[in-house]
Amino acid sequence: MCGIVGYCGPRRVTPLVLEGLHRLEYRGYDSAGIVYPGPDGKLVKYRARGKLSQLEAVIGDALLSPATIGLGHTRWATHGAPTTENAHPHSDCTGDLVVVHNGIIENYSSLRLELQMRGHKFASETDTEVLAHLIEEHLEGDLPKAVRAALARVEGSYAIGVMWVKAPDMLVAARNHSPLVLGLCDDGGMFMASDVPAFLKYTNQVIFLDDEEMATLKNGSFQVTSLASGATLNKAIQTISWNAAMAEKAGYKHFMLKEIYEQPQAITNTLRGRVEVQTGEITIPEIGLSDEQLQKIERITLVACGTSWHAALVAKYWLEQYAQLPVEVDIASEFRYRHLLINERVLTIAISQSGETADTLAGIRRAKAMGAKVISICNVVGSTMTRESDGTVYTHAGPEIGVASTKAFTAQLTALLLFSLYLGQKRGVMSAERRAHLVKSMLDVAAVIETILPKTQAEIAILVEKFYTCKDFLFVGRGLSFPIALEGALKLKEISYIHAEGYASGELKHGPIALIDKEMPVLALLPLDDVYQKSVSNVEEIKARQGRLILIGSEGDEQLMAIAPDVLYLPKIDAALNPLLYTIPAQLLAYEMAVRRGCDVDQPRNLAKSVTVE
Ligand code: AGP
Tens of pLDDT, residue by residue over 154-180, are 999 899 999 999 999 999 999 998 889
Q: For residue 485, how far is its CA from the centre of ligand 1 (angstroms)?
A: 16
Q: Is 2 an annotated catalytic residue?
A: yes
The pLDDT assigned to 399 comes to: 80
Q: What is the pTM of this model?
A: 0.83
The pLDDT assigned to 432 comes to: 95
Whose alpha carbon is nearest atom 10 of ligand 1?
306
- Which one of the listed residues 51, 368, 440, 609 is annotated catalytic? 609
Atom of ligand 1 nearest to the CA of 412: 14
Buried b (16+ CB within 10 A) or exposed e, 277-293: eeebbbebeebbbeeeb
For the residues 508-536, what does the mean pLDDT come to? Answer: 96
Residues with CB under 6 A from ligand 1: 305-308, 352-354, 357, 360, 403-405, 494, 610-611
Q: For residue 430, how far is its CA from the centre of ligand 1 (angstroms)?
A: 32
Atom of ligand 1 nearest to the CA of 405: 2
Nearest to 467 by CA among 505, 541, 521, 399: 521
The vertex-339 CA angle with 338 and 340, nearest 5°, equals 100
Looking at residue 591, its amino acid is Y
Predicted confidence (pLDDT) per residue in 556-570, tens digit: 999 999 999 999 999
Predicted confidence (pLDDT) per residue in 180-203, tens digit: 999 999 999 999 999 888 999 999
Q: For residue 304, how far is its CA from the centre of ligand 1 (angstroms)?
A: 9
The pLDDT assigned to 348 comes to: 97
Q: For residue 300, how far is its CA from the centre of ligand 1 (angstroms)?
A: 21
The pLDDT assigned to 79 comes to: 83
Residue 380 has pLDDT above 90, yes or no: no
Residue 614 has pLDDT above 70, yes or no: no
Predicted confidence (pLDDT) per residue in 404-463, tens digit: 999 999 999 999 999 999 999 999 999 999 999 999 999 999 999 999 999 999 999 999
Residue 613 has pLDDT above 80, yes or no: no
Atom of ligand 1 nearest to the CA of 307: 8
User: Hey, which of 354, 356, 606 would you mutate to test ligand 1's pocket, going by the most ligand atoms within 8 Å of its Cβ?
Assistant: 354
Q: What percent of the chain has pLDDT over 70?
A: 99
Whose alpha carbon is nearest atom 7 of ligand 1?
306
The pLDDT assigned to 320 comes to: 98
Q: For residue 232, how far is its CA from the centre of ligand 1 (angstroms)?
A: 47
Whose alpha carbon is nearest atom 5 of ligand 1?
306
Cα distance between residue 148 and residue 225, in whole Å = 10
Residue 288 has pLDDT above 90, yes or no: no
pLDDT band at residue 80 under the 50/70/90 scheme: confident
Residue 266 has pLDDT above 70, yes or no: yes
Cα distance between residue 523 and residue 539, in whole Å = 10
CA distances from 447 to 1, 262, 440 (A): 20, 12, 12
Q: What percent of the chain has pLDDT over 90?
A: 85
The pLDDT assigned to 285 comes to: 85
Whose alpha carbon is nearest atom 16 of ligand 1?
352
The pLDDT assigned to 427 comes to: 93
Q: At 172, which helix (H) or strand (E)?
A: strand 170-176
User: Hey, which of 405, 490, 600 would you mutate to test ligand 1's pocket, going by the most ligand atoms within 8 Å of its Cβ?
Assistant: 405
Cβ 424 vs Cβ 439: under 8 Å:
no
The vertex-156 CA angle with 151 and 161, nearest 5°, equals 50
Atom of ligand 1 nearest to the CA of 305: 11
Cβ 375 vs Cβ 392: under 8 Å:
yes
The pLDDT assigned to 246 comes to: 65
Beta bridge partners of 37: 43
Beta bridge partners of 394: 378
Whose alpha carbon is nearest atom 6 of ligand 1?
306
The pLDDT assigned to 356 comes to: 87
Q: At 455, which helix (H) or strand (E)?
A: helix 432-467
Whose alpha carbon is nearest atom 8 of ligand 1?
307
Predicted confidence (pLDDT) per residue in 273-287, tens digit: 999 998 999 999 888
Number of Cβ within a 10 Å radius of residue 435: 21
Predicted confidence (pLDDT) per residue in 579-592, tens digit: 999 999 999 999 99
Cα distance between residue 368 and residue 352, in whole Å = 17
The pLDDT assigned to 1 comes to: 60
Distance of CA 452 to the CA centre of its chain: 19
User: Hey, which of 308, 383, 403 would you mutate to test ligand 1's pocket, going by the most ligand atoms within 8 Å of its Cβ?
Assistant: 308
pLDDT band at residue 239 under the 50/70/90 scheme: confident
Q: For residue 408, how far is its CA from the centre of ligand 1 (angstroms)?
A: 9
Give every CB contact of residue 55 below 8 A, 6+ residues apart in sequence: 18, 32, 33, 34, 46, 47, 48
Give every CB contact of residue 583 below 8 A, 6+ residues apart in sequence: 409, 410, 413, 484, 487, 488
- Which one of the listed residues 2, 8, 305, 378 is annotated catalytic? 2
Q: For residue 193, how far is its CA from the centre of ligand 1 (angstroms)?
A: 31
Q: For residue 305, how far is its CA from the centre of ligand 1 (angstroms)?
A: 6
Whose alpha carbon is nearest atom 9 of ligand 1?
306
Atom of ligand 1 nearest to the CA of 611: 10
Give every CB contact of residue 115 below 8 A, 6+ residues apart in sequence: 122, 130, 133, 134, 137
The pLDDT assigned to 196 comes to: 83
User: Hey, which of 255, 256, 305 would you mutate to test ligand 1's pocket, going by the most ligand atoms within 8 Å of its Cβ?
Assistant: 305
Interstrand relation of 548-554 and 521-526 (parallel, antiparallel or unpaired): parallel
Q: What integer best gives the mean pLDDT of the chain?
A: 94
Torsion of CA 606, 608, 611, 614, to 10 degrees: -20
Q: For residue 395, how far is its CA from the centre of ligand 1 (angstroms)?
A: 14
Atom of ligand 1 nearest to the CA of 406: 2
Cβ 350 vs Cβ 364: under 8 Å:
yes
CA distances from 548 to 247, 439, 500, 562 (A): 39, 38, 14, 14
Q: For residue 98, how far is its CA from the centre of ligand 1 (angstroms)?
A: 38
More confident residue, 526 or 248: 526
Predicted confidence (pLDDT) per residue in 347-363, tens digit: 999 999 989 898 999 99
Q: What is the DSSP string of 574-596?
A: -GGGHHHHHHHHHHHHHHHHHHH
